[in-house]
Amino acid sequence: RKEVEQDPGPFNVPEGATVAFNCTYSNSASQSFFWYRQDCRKEPKLLMSVYSSGNEDGRFTAQLNRASQYISLLIRDSKLSDSATYLCVVSTAGAQKLVFGQGTRLTINP
């Protein structure tokens, strides 16, 4: 079983729609949580960190449920430029490495 599991998609949604992704992690010692975005044939870029209380950055909202070991990302009013692969990422206390999920591919259609 992978340490971080995501639905690979693809998700195809119309522009302006709201879309949500989820991921689950298996290591209960995980302490830091992130969403990274990766465009086709480009490097991953940090989209946002995920905090226990949930956090928002513009149209993006991230939630963490430690009891269920579940992370979510909500994108409101989606734009064509949101088309990318979204990677769920965790890190364990005391470890510096990032553990990535497989990624969820999103395409926003005009």
Residue closer to other proteins (CB basis): 78 or 101 = 101
101 binds other proteins (CB under 8 A): yes
102 sits near other proteins (criterion: CB under 8 A): yes
Interatomic CA distance for residues 103 and 10, integer angstroms: 10
Residue closer to other proteins (CB basis): 14 or 45: 45
Catalog residues that contact other proteins under the rule CB under 8 A.
Answer: 4, 8, 32, 34, 42-46, 49, 87, 89, 91, 95-103
